[in-house]
Amino acid sequence: MIGYRFMGKAHSNAWRQAPRFFPLKAHVEMHTLCGRNAAGVQAARAQLGWQHASTNWREVVEDPLIDIVDINTPNDSHAEIAIAAARNGKHVLCEKPLALTVPQAEQMLAAVQKARVVHMVCHNYRRIPAIAQAKKMIQEGALGQVYHFRARYAQDWPADPQFPLVWRLQKEVSGSGAHGDINAHILDLGRYLVGEFTAVTGLLHTFITERPLPEAPGKEQGLGGKAAARLGKVTVDDASLFIGRFANGALANLEATRMALGRKNHIEIEINGSKGSLYFDFEDMNRLKFFSNDDPKDRQGFHDILVTKGGVHPYCAQWWPEGHLIGYEHTFIHTIVDFVNACVDGKPVQPTFEDGVQNQRVLAAVEKSAATGKWVQVKTA
């Protein structure tokens, strides 16, 4: 595994927990954890449960003892690592967004296809039981023809103007802001649950354009007073909104923002179809709301489904009795389970790098529409 910060912690937990709760088709060894800072990666290795530590990702992806490379680094290094890993015949799991640009993502896809390795983008939200249940219901026709996909991913962590200029707020490292970081997630869920986007028009906006530099705390102290932090320019968007059309005729409305006070990790999705509707909110991630037009007229209303029933709801048999919730980290465990089993079987596992490329195309189309003020068609493979 390359990278050990927030995602590294979540992925490591998933690697540890997957075999404890799920039947895996292979025994998993957590071989090497890799990061740039020697002391940091060594400490993380012990804490997170890896056997070895390394500061040289090239050595890791070439190690013949390693079958799988899991990439959790900042977005600007995904492509280089993934391509090298594929060339060395490793199966690759990569954090989203796959790349900084569409061409970069296409190169990554070409590399994994050429190497015939299993590839997966870590859109962990697909494996929330409630989302997997929604997918199943849509496939079974519970919604009929889909009319509307409406989603919002709202956070507030940098809402305070004094929040520092971290890497997620710097375009050269992160590629974009709310757009690639979180709109990418609900865009993926739109593709997963409804289908391909064909055209979009949107906007990107930065509300707070300058922030304190994190690397320079206290450097600029005045004579008798408080430090005045040096400010740096925010080069990514705080918010990304777009409306669009799907190939199947449905309408899309997606909004991502980091400036919605009170919304912490609020991924809200509503899908309306000719036979019913679904509603999901990640801040109540164990629930799915379902309206069925087939219910008796006097009893119609959104069913508030607690998606925790073993043997009935996806992934739930391995956890706790009904009504006992699971959390954020479990979405990664489910992802690892499916990925490992696909690696053993040598079969594709969604979301693939094809999904990653297509996701990037929609992101790019929104960016283009934001720049030109016009609708932009989305190329599909």
Contacts (CB under 8 A) with its own copies, residues 325-364? 325-330
Closest distance of CB 374 from its own copies, Å: 6
Q: Of 110 and 325, which has the nearer Cβ to its own copies?
A: 325
Closest distance of CB 40 from its own copies, Å: 17
Contact residue for its own copies among 42, 265, 350, 354 (CB under 8 A): 265
Q: What are phi and psi of 9, to 5 degrees?
A: -65, -45
End-to-end CA distance of the chain: 30
Peptide bond into 164 cis (omega under 30): no
Closest distance of CB 161 from its own copies, Å: 8
Is 8 exposed, middle or buried, given 0-12, 13-18 or 19+ CB atoms closer than 10 A? buried
Q: How many amino acids of this chain bind its own copies (CB under 8 A)? A: 94
Considering the rule CB under 8 A, would residue 274 count as an interface residue with its own copies? yes
Between residue 276 and residue 305, which ones bind its own copies under the rule CB under 8 A?
276-277, 282-293, 295, 297-305
Closest distance of CB 124 from its own copies, Å: 11
Q: What are phi and psi of 205, to 5 degrees?
A: -150, 140
276 contacts 143 by C-beta, under 8 angstroms: yes
Between residue 170 and residue 199, which ones bind its own copies under the rule CB under 8 A?
none
Q: Of 101 and 318, which has the nearer Cβ to its own copies?
A: 318
Query: Roughly what angle, to the nearest 10 degrees, separates helices 6-21 and 328-345?
Result: 70
Between residue 204 and residue 243, which ones bind its own copies under the rule CB under 8 A?
205, 207, 238-239, 241-243
C-alpha to C-alpha distance for 331 and 317, rounded to whole angstroms: 14
Peptide bond into 214 cis (omega under 30): no
Closest distance of CB 283 from its own copies, Å: 6
Q: Are strands 287-292 and 276-281 parallel, antiparallel or unpaired?
A: antiparallel
Q: Of 217 and 301, which has the nearer Cβ to its own copies?
A: 301
